[in-house]
Amino acid sequence: MTTGTPDLAPPDEPAPRQPAPPEVNRLTADDIAASLKAGFADFLARPVMSGFFGLFYAVFGILFVWCLVWLGAVWMVIPAAIGFPLVAPFAAAGLYEMSRRLARGEAFGWRDILGVMTAQRNREMGWMAFVTLFIFWVWFYQFRTVLVIVLQDASFSSLDGFLNTVFFTPEGWIFLAIGTCVGGFLSAVLFTVTVVAMPMLLDREVDFITAMLTSVRVVRENPAVMLGWAAIITVTMAVSLVPAFLGLVFTLPILGHTTWHLYLRAVAPVEG
């Protein structure tokens, strides 16, 4: 015989609170100047280790371009040289860790920095690397597409012939104009989603989506300042490529250290 008393259901458990998105700060030109000063100081504090990352990146770029010429893919030389700096934020992970430890006054050696870099493969940094390389691949694909459409009748049997066609013919100028516009757009997208995302993923336990959205918010809140920072990076990297990538030995470490300090100014620290 039933008592007619209804079963009491356990109370619903409260939904877990979603963590608040990181707070972003307003920046000024003084923040960029101060970050550059701090980045240069970090470079001078450990010039050999910092320069190693720049040298490795430069040598890899040289070998990359040389392999393209050796394989006869001369049309890929220009997009490789121009697009190669797009992956610089990922390559600078070791520099971010150096700046973090220098700010804390911690002693460190090669094993410490390389160990932190190796550990990133098990964290969200790997997904950011995928995003970066995907945009790099899109850059190559659109370059090839524009090349076929605009310079379909041209022959690129040598690097000299390719450069002569691109820089000294009307069709080549059209090709450069279109490629520059598309490349500029892709670079702007990549800069927007990575400018603070890379150091943030090294510094905090957040997912890469949160890091990218935070980066977008930083750019949205500080459009003029971040445009200035993007211009500094673009000009510096372009000048660095002229002497066969070797300028990157110095400029990449300084820009990498600077990016870390700019991230600290752009994103509020974790409470507690």
Question: For the segment 80-89, what is each residue's pLDDT rounded down to a tens digit?
Answer: 776 666 666 6
3-class secondary structure, 167: helix
pLDDT at 6 over 60: no
Mean per-residue pLDDT over the chain, rounded: 82
Question: In this predicted structure, what is the pLDDT of residue 220?
Answer: 95
pTM of the model: 0.81
**Sequence letter at residue 209:** I
Q: In which band, very low, low, confident or very high, does the pLDDT at 11 lie, cut at 50, 70 and 90?
A: low
User: Stretch 179-193: mean pLDDT, rounded?
Assistant: 85
Q: Rounded to an integer, what distance in angstroms lies between the CA atom of residue 246 and that of residue 42?
A: 20
Q: Would you report the helix, strand and coil content of the chain in percent, each value rounded to 5?
A: 75, 0, 25
Instruction: Cite the DSSP H helix spans in the chain.
Output: 29-45, 47-70, 77-83, 88-91, 93-104, 110-119, 125-150, 159-168, 170-194, 197-203, 208-221, 223-241, 248-266
**Sequence letter at residue 236:** T
Asked which of 131-135, 160-164, 194-198 is least confident by mean pLDDT, the reply is 160-164
Q: In which band, very low, low, confident or very high, does the pLDDT at 156 lie, cut at 50, 70 and 90?
A: low
Angle at 42 between CA 123 and CA 111, to 5 degrees: 45
User: Please, which residues bridge with residue 221 across strands?
Assistant: none
Q: In which band, very low, low, confident or very high, does the pLDDT at 58 lie, cut at 50, 70 and 90?
A: confident
Question: In this predicted structure, what is the pLDDT of residue 1?
Answer: 47
What single DSSP character describes residue 267? B
More confident residue, 108 or 15: 108
Give the helix/strand (H/E) hosting 47. helix 47-70
Q: In which band, very low, low, confident or very high, does the pLDDT at 141 lie, cut at 50, 70 and 90?
A: confident
